[in-house]
Structure 1
Amino acid sequence: MDFFIRLPRSKKEFTLFMGIVSILSVTIIAPLITAFEIGFTMETWKQTLAILPIIWIAVVILVLLVHAPADKLSASIVDKNDSFRSQITINILCNVLLMSIFMTVIGSWIGQRDISLEPIQLFFHKWPRNFAISFAVEALIAQPIARQVLFMLHTKKDVNNSSVSEEPQEK
Structure 2
Amino acid sequence: MATALALEKHISLEIYVLDIVTGSDQKSMSEVKCLVDNMLKAEDFDLHDFEHFDLDVQMKHFDNSEDSTDMGALQQDEWKQANVDIMVLSKEKNPEGNGHPFSVSGLFYWPLIAVIQAAFSEPSSKWFHLTPFKWIWKSSVTRQEQQLYDELYTLDAWIQAYDKLHK
**Pairwise TM-score range, normalised by the shorter structure:** under 0.3
Q: Which has more helix, going by share of residues? A: 1
Higher strand share: 2
Q: What TM-score do you get using the length of structure 2 for normalisation?
A: 0.23
Find the structure with the greater CA-based Rg.
2
Greater relative contact order, per chain length (Cα 8 Å cut-off, separation 6+):
1
